[in-house]
Amino acid sequence: MKVLVYLSLVIFSVELYAQDTTIIVKEIQQYQAELNAEFANPDTTILEKNVFESFRQLEFYPIDLAYYVQAKLVRTPNEKPFLMPTTTDRLPEYVKYGELHFQIDTLDLVLDVFQNTKPKEEYKNNLFLPFTDWTSGDGSYGGGRYIDLLIPESDTLFIDFNKAYNPYCAYNKNYSCPIPPKQNDLPIRMEAGVKDFK
């Protein structure tokens, strides 16, 4: 009887995991579709006219849930605001909100995560995660990529590198884009998210 109960629990857990992963994959697919739609729409695209005319779709790394990771958020409330360097003379003000500690392939990794000090009302709970990795300039955009996060109520959150996106500068040099800080250079090939735009 105990064996049957144990097996039932295992099967139930596997089914729940399968459902969860299916939902996550669908969310990533939807995100990618929405990003492509934004670029393909003449009213929302950031592409220059000559590039837009030949645009078909963005290229992404294959979806891989190994890059969907749970991270421990260590808040750093005593940080001072600073002016973040960009690809132009623009210097937006950010503050380090905390550190994200996580693992990929048993490798312990840490990324600093930031918050804009003067966000629009709809972005007041957003966090900004800029990073580079060993694919930067070798598969993904050389200037790094970004991930948007929401401030969690607890000290854990999920980072989905499958939703990593390029700065606007990767598509149009008329934009000003934050430069990922040196401490956010990951010693790993992060083969997830959007690829370099060619």
Read off the pLDDT of residues 11-67 as tens digits, 9 standing for 90 and up: 434 443 455 899 999 999 999 999 999 999 999 999 999 999 999 999 999 999 999
The answer, yes or no, to whether residue 6 has pLDDT greater than 60, is no
CB distance 159 to 148 below 8 Å:
no
Distance separating the N- and C-terminal Cα atoms of the chain = 61
Nearest CA to 109 among 128, 87, 134? 134
Evaluate whether 139 touches 45 at the Cβ level (below 8 Å).
no
Residue 12, pLDDT score: 35
Band of pLDDT at residue 108, cut at 50, 70 and 90? very high
pTM above 0.85, yes or no: yes
Residue 178: band (very low, low, confident or very high) from pLDDT cuts 50, 70, 90: very high
pLDDT score at 112: 98
- Please give the single-letter amino acid code of residue 153: E
